[in-house]
Amino acid sequence: MITIALSKGRIFDDTLPLLHAAGITPLDDPEKSRKLILDTTRVDVKLIIVRASDVPTYVQYGAADFGVAGKDVLLESDCMGLYQPLDLRIGKCRMMVAVRDGYDYAGAVKRGARLNVATKYVQIAREHFAKKAMHVNLIKLYGSMELAPLTGLADAIVDVVSTGNTLKANKLIAVEEIMPISSRLIVNRAALKLKSAELQPMMDAFANAVK
- Residues engaged in binding ligand AMP (CB under 6 A): 70, 91, 93, 159-166
CB of 109 to ligand AMP, least distance (A): 23
Element (H, E) at 99: strand 93-100
Nearer to ligand AMP, 45 or 69 (CB): 69
Nearer to ligand AMP, 151 or 165 (CB): 165
Nearer to ligand AMP, 151 or 163 (CB): 163
Nearer to ligand AMP, 10 or 189 (CB): 10
DSSP states of 38-56: EEBSSTTEEEEE--GGGHH
- 136: exposed, middle or buried (C-beta count within 10 Å: 0-12, 13-18, 19+)? buried
Alpha helices in the chain (DSSP H): 10-21, 55-60, 71-76, 105-111, 122-131, 147-151, 165-169, 189-194, 196-210
CB of 91 to ligand AMP, least distance (A): 4
CB of 72 to ligand AMP, least distance (A): 7
CB of 130 to ligand AMP, least distance (A): 24
Nearest in space to 126 (alpha carbons), one of 95, 151, 100:
95
Nearer to ligand AMP, 55 or 93 (CB): 93
C-alpha distances in Å from residue 97, one per residue of 10, 90, 112, 159 = 22, 22, 16, 7
The edge-to-edge listing of strands for the beta sheet with 37-39 is: 37-39, 45-49, 2-6, 66-70, 183-188, 82-87
Nearer to ligand AMP, 1 or 169 (CB): 169
CB of 165 to ligand AMP, least distance (A): 4
CB of 201 to ligand AMP, least distance (A): 28
